[in-house]
Amino acid sequence: MDGVVLDRVKAASAPHLKGLMAQGLTAQSTLYANPMAATSSGPGWSTIATGVWPDKHGVRDNSFTGKNYTAYPDFLTRIENAAPALDTYAAADWEPITSTDQNGPIFSAKVDKRLFLKGDRDGYGSEDPKVAAAAAAELRDADPDAAFVYLGQVDSAGHSYGAAGQQYLDAIARVDAMVGQLLTAVRNRPAYAQENWKILVTTDHGHTDSGGHGGSSFQERGTFVIAKGAGIPAGSVRSDVRLVDVAATALQHVGVPAGSAVDGIPLNSPDSDPFDTLRPQLQARVDETGIPAGTKGFTHTPPAGWSIVNSAMGSGGVTEWAGWAFTTDEFWSQAQRDQWRELNVRSRDVFAVADSDEWDDKSHTGSFDSTLVTPRWAVSGGTSGSTATLRFQTHYRHEAGQSAQVLVSFNGGAPTAVKNYTADAVAKAEALTLQVPAGATDVQVRFRYTGSNNWYWTIDNVTLG
């Protein structure tokens, strides 16, 4: 459903969507912003379809300049490539999704059956019902193993009337009825009782109250996934789901392994990042003014086994960022928009951040110098040594005068730098090979960041394997 705001779904007459939420999962999340990509439909649907972020699929706006669907195809095409006997279907009334429009198609010609109905000039009010009817017939009477159906009129209502208006709620209600039509078609399949269906509902971007999207506001960046199916607890709510997980979940469900080919993680395979356990401890703003007062999103208390060393840290500064902090995208990116904080797309839920730029916005003495320390993890150096791989998600913006180091120590020895960041490392999945000395039995990792009125460094999902 294009351009749908989840809070407005909750306010609308939408019994089918609310039924899915009650029977399954609801997960809000956020998008990138420029310069990674605009919060527009081209990047949004490309991200949903391919399961990778715009820095990979290459679509940064609705011009589709730089698209790289050859390297990062849509999930239906991945299914066709891996298991051509499976039946795939896509239906839409926005040209780039399924038509041979010069900007598309997002879903390639390898998809077994594609339907395109051109949306009318004033929106999709006349074409959405045709898409829904055709897709319902396909879902009920044919044998699709994986299907994608697009409905566009909520986005059109947002542009014409704004997300705060009754017209927007009315459009959600109309699309909800079409969602019900699709769900009924699935339930009416002759073999439904013997089949295993997973339903995923999502959107490509949000809308402002007055109407519009493309920018970096939290409203425009808002997305969600609603999911129902085996392994998904009824009425569950999660904060660690991202838009790329839609494709990953669909691929897993039909038995097509994606692995590192996509950025997404199947909904049935959540990670166990200890930072995420801190969500109940998050506090509301103290010194920050741009973050809504009711948004809880920071703590300086690390998870069990972790520690923060601030012995060289200056005093004063903005409370929220006085040394390493644990935060969320909703909180941190609203501290100051359009400084690439929105690009931290590979972090999930709660992550660690050292932000000397924001800390410097209030008077202080000294400079920013803080170290995040992991627990001591067991390793086996054997008689001749071995290797271990340190993995984490990072988002680093560099400026002269700041430093970011990864240091390791074995058996409580002196820390040694294994990585120094001297240039931007934007939304990166890092994998560092550690040389484990002979006889070593444990390793401890330190993330040390120094700076002043510079930028920031985020760390998330740190694992040793």
Of the three residues 261, 289, 322, the one that is the final residue of a domain is 261
Looking at the structure, do residues 96 and 23 belong to the same domain, yes or no? yes
Helix 153-161, helix 166-187: angle, nearest 10: 180
pTM for this entry: 0.95
> Which residue, 70, 127, 72, 65, is CA-closest to 95?
127
Measured distance CA(82)–CA(80) in Å, rounded: 6
Helix (H) or strand (E) holding 330: helix 329-332
419-435 b/e with 16+ CB inside 10 Å = b?
Answer: eebeeebbbeebeeebe
Question: What mean pLDDT do residues 298-312 have?
Answer: 98
Distance from C-alpha of 231 to C-alpha of 403, rounded to nearest angstrom: 44
Condensed to tens digits (0 to 9), the pLDDT of residues 42-56 reads 999 999 999 999 999
- Is residue 120 over pLDDT 60? no
Q: Is residue 294 part of a domain?
A: yes
367-389 average pLDDT score: 93
Same domain assignment for residues 247 and 322: no
pLDDT above 80 (res 101): no
Tell me, yes or no, whether 179 and 37 share the same domain: yes
pLDDT per residue as tens digits for the range 445-465: 999 999 999 999 999 999 999
Q: What is the pLDDT of residue 241?
A: 97
Q: In what order do the strands lie in the sheet with 351-355?
A: 283-284, 296-299, 325-327, 351-355, 456-464, 386-397, 425-436
Q: Identify the pLDDT of residue 189.
A: 97
Q: In this structure, what CATH number is given to the domain that contains residue 313?
A: 2.60.120.200
Give the domain CATH number at 108: 3.40.720.10
Q: Are residues 251 and 293 in the same domain?
A: no
- The pLDDT, as a whole number, for residue 121 is 44
243 and 346 co-located in one domain: no
In a domain? residue 269: no
Region 19-35: mean pLDDT is 97
Amino acid occupying residue 123: G
DSSP state of 303: P
244, 391: one domain: no
Q: Are strands 222-228 and 199-202 parallel, antiparallel or unpaired?
A: antiparallel
At which residue do the structure tokens 């959600």 appear?
A: 172
Question: pLDDT band at 296, cuts 50/70/90?
Answer: very high
* Top-confidence range, 102-106, 118-122, 263-267: 263-267
- Do residue 298 and residue 181 come from a single domain? no
Phi, psi (rounded to 5 degrees) for 275: -60, -35
Q: Does a structural domain hold residue 1?
A: no
> What is the tally of structural domains in the chain?
2
Check residue 102 and give its pLDDT: 64
Asked if residue 456 lies in contact with residue 358, where contact means CB atoms within 8 angstroms, the answer is: yes
Banded pLDDT at 428 (limits 50, 70, 90):
very high
State the pLDDT at residue 383: 80
Query: Residues 219-277: pLDDT tens digits?
Result: 999 999 999 999 999 999 999 999 999 999 999 999 998 888 999 999 998 888 999 99
pLDDT on residue 103: 67
Q: How far is CA 324 from CA 327, 359, 375, 401, 453, in A?
A: 10, 11, 16, 18, 15
Is 267 contained in some domain? Answer: no
Q: Write out pLDDT tens, residues 316-325.
A: 999 999 999 9
Q: Tokens in use for 297? A: 């999103």
pLDDT at 384 (0 to 100): 83
Better-predicted residue by pLDDT, 288 or 118: 288
CA atoms of 434 and 416, how far apart (whole Å): 11
Domain limits for position 366: 274-464
Q: In this structure, are 245 and 288 located in the same domain?
A: no
pLDDT at residue 185 greater than cutoff 80: yes
Rounded to an integer, the average pLDDT of 379-402 is 93
